[in-house]
Chains A and B, each alone.
Chain A
Amino acid sequence: MTIRKKTRNTSLAKRSWQKFIQNRMAILGLIGLVLIIAACLAAPLLTNYDPTLIDPSIRGLSPSREHLLGTDRLGRDIFARILYGGRWSIMIGVIAAMGANLLGAALGCIAGYYGGKVDSVLVSIQEMLSIFPGTLINMLCIGFMGKSVRNLLLIFTFTGWPGVMRIVRGRILSLKQEPYVESCRANGIGGMSIMFHHLLPNTLGPIIVNSTMNVAGYILSEAALSYLGLGVPDNVPTWGNIINAAKRLDIVQTLPMLWLAPAAAICLFVLSINFFGDGLRDALDPSSK
């Protein structure tokens, strides 16, 4: 018997995509994201300056044709630092969000599906992490572990999972009562398959949305920590680290580009990703038409 496998345009992904492209703000966000990421990736094509090269002869220049956004107090080109810094900032945001959401989703699945003691323990840990001020916990951890990009990613991952864990756990709690799950259990299909093959795909929408929002959140967290001097090491240009150079009041006044430009980059990126995330949420929500 030959049965042709038909690919029909009513699959869930296609339907969501059609919903997404009707949302103008979401498309705007997507375009913003693509432009910023492309500019950061294409940094060597857009500028000839090395973002870390210290040149005392050109300290504190105002924007000019050679230095589009001027230079900082060590003579580094700000435009180059923002492009290269975007690479680090976005990478930190994306990897930290992925780490925290993968961990949170897995823990949420286990807590929601198995319930009982496992659930109580995981929920308690989650609550303890949630009631602690996030910035404080990050600062303490950095203080103990030392400044490095790897440490920062680890800290974001291990302190960032409670949010998504709550979302996934809640969804799993209601989904596991569904007849299609009971039908699996009646057939003796194992917990791992039920959790990760049957239940998790049904929570993918909220996880994806949460992840995109988290990318923005982690970029802001990184910027905040770096501004306080507790983020990434000084030699790594990130958007937060660039602003860190503008801590003194006289610099804030005399070199406005030093903080205005990276702040604008952060704002634009976070705004774009939030519009994009909102659009995704509406598109992936099966109850919205």
Chain B
Amino acid sequence: MAEQREKLLSIRHLTMEYQPNRRLFEAKKPSVKAVSDVSLDIYAGETFGVVGESGCGKTTLGKCIVRLLKPTAGELFFNDGGEMKDLLRLDKKTSFALRQKIQIVFQDPYASLNPVHTIQEAFDEPMRVHGIGGGSREKRTEIIANALTRVNLQPDYMYRYPHEFSGGQRQRICVAKALVMEPRLIICDEPVSALDVSIQAQLLNLMRKLQRETGVTFFFIAHDLSVVQYMSDRIAVMYLGHVVELADAGDLYARPLHPYTQALLSAVPVPVLQAKKERIVLKGDVPSPMDPPTGCPFHPRCANCMEKCKTEKPELHEVEAGHFVACHLYQQHT
């Protein structure tokens, strides 16, 4: 079903390796592969969820897409009016122009707004450099007022400073700040994890409403599985820089295939009294990304580990329609 839709972003073999700073006379330190060989397709208008524990590379992936980080390898094809352009190999002008189309909302609402600028100043600069509102200041102010109204804030709040707002309000401001740029894709990097649960629901509903109105695509990064399930159409599960499973949201939660996904989902609390649930407890810790295990990145902790897993890295492949998994257990099914 998703296949008929318009592709917005194609991530191909994206790898991001952090090279540690090397000082004079210091031995070479191993690099850290935060994202290794990730390929994903994101369709226009959907919400694409990415889950995984801390340090699995989901934020790095998001930052590569908005080009805050320069990936060490791979391609990022972005649909610019029907033409797929590689964001990493563009001339300066197009590269700059396309930045407007991909916006990011950060996790920490308290650090996402510059304390010395009013909301209006914070909104105005990116709009000005990208020529939104036709270069007219009045027009831009009007757009800002509209955007604030859309996130249920009063227009005259734009002359206030960030410290005058609560966390939830600030995060709504950040969403509005992304929206005024008329983006096609918004990277939401754990937008609700710093908020109270009641405020979380409020913001999530608001984001869904805004998505219906504008048709914007969300790349939704989170570690809260219930939040991702609520928001996403499709979900990718990441472990140690790899995508281990990718499926429609309902499918993934109903029938997780990868042992890691199974363990992850078994940890979701069930809001039913006396609900008995078998909890899969993983042994050990996540291996250091400086020294990743050979073969399947999950094999040292996997209950179903086979000989093959220790040497050969499983590729992501389609087990059922729209359900991808990177695990040798399902290799024979194809």
Contact = CB atoms under 8 A, between A and B. Distances in A.
B130 A3 contact: no
Nearest to A286: B115
Nearest to A8: B160
A11 B161 contact: yes
User: Max chain B CB contacts within 10 Å: which of A10, A178, A183, A202?
Assistant: A183
A179 interface: yes
Contacts of A187: 99-100, 103, 126, 129-130, 181
Contacts of A8: 159-160, 164
B62 to A, nearest CB: 10
Interface stretch (B106-114, B215-223, B235-243): B106-114
Interface string B209-250: 000000000000000000000000000000000000000000
Contacts of B145: 1, 3
Interface residues of B, number: 39
Contact of A186 (B66, B108, B155): B66
Contact of B116 (A5, A10, A179, A201): A201
Interface in A251-289: 286
B112 A3 contact: no
A5 B67 contact: no
Interface string A48-62: 000000000000000
Given A179-B108, A180-B111, A186-B68, A12 B99 contact: no
A196 to B, nearest CB: 12
B158 interface: yes
Interface in A176-214: 178-180, 182-189, 193, 197-198, 201-202
A6 interface: yes
B155 A3 contact: yes
Contacts of A188: 95-96, 99-100, 129-130
Nearest to B65: A186
Given A1-B155, A189-B125, A202-B114, A12 B161 contact: yes
Nearest to B164: A10
Interface string B86-111: 00000000011001101110111001
B156 A6 contact: yes
Interface string A1-35: 10111101011100000000000000000000000
B169 interface: no
Contact of A3 (B66, B104, B156, B163): B156
B251 interface: no
Interface string B125-169: 110011000000000011001000000000110111101100000
A182 B178 CA distance: 13
Contact of B129 (A4, A5, A189): A189
A70 B265 CA distance: 90
A214 B73 CA distance: 50
B116 A202 contact: yes
Given A5-B159, A188-B99, A183 B112 contact: yes
Contacts of A179: 106-108, 111-112
Nearest to A197: B125
A3 B117 CA distance: 18
B188 to A, nearest CB: 13
B173 to A, nearest CB: 11
B85 to A, nearest CB: 15
B106 A183 contact: yes
Nearest to A5: B159
B125 A182 contact: no
Contacts of A197: 125
A189 B99 CA distance: 10
A137 B159 CA distance: 49
Contacts of A183: 104, 106, 112, 126, 177
Nearest to B148: A3
B98 to A, nearest CB: 9
A189 B181 CA distance: 13
Contacts of A4: 156
B164 A202 contact: no
A6 B161 contact: no
A180 B105 CA distance: 10
A178 B155 CA distance: 26
9 contacts: A3-B145, A6-B156, A10-B161, A10-B164, A179-B107, A180-B112, A182-B104, A183-B177, A187-B100
Given A3-B159, A12-B116, A188-B96, 6 more contacts: A8-B160, A12-B115, A182-B68, A182-B104, A188-B129, A198-B114
Closest 10 interchain pairs by CB? Answer: A179-B106, A187-B126, A188-B99, A201-B116, A186-B66, A179-B112, A180-B114, A188-B96, A179-B111, A3-B156
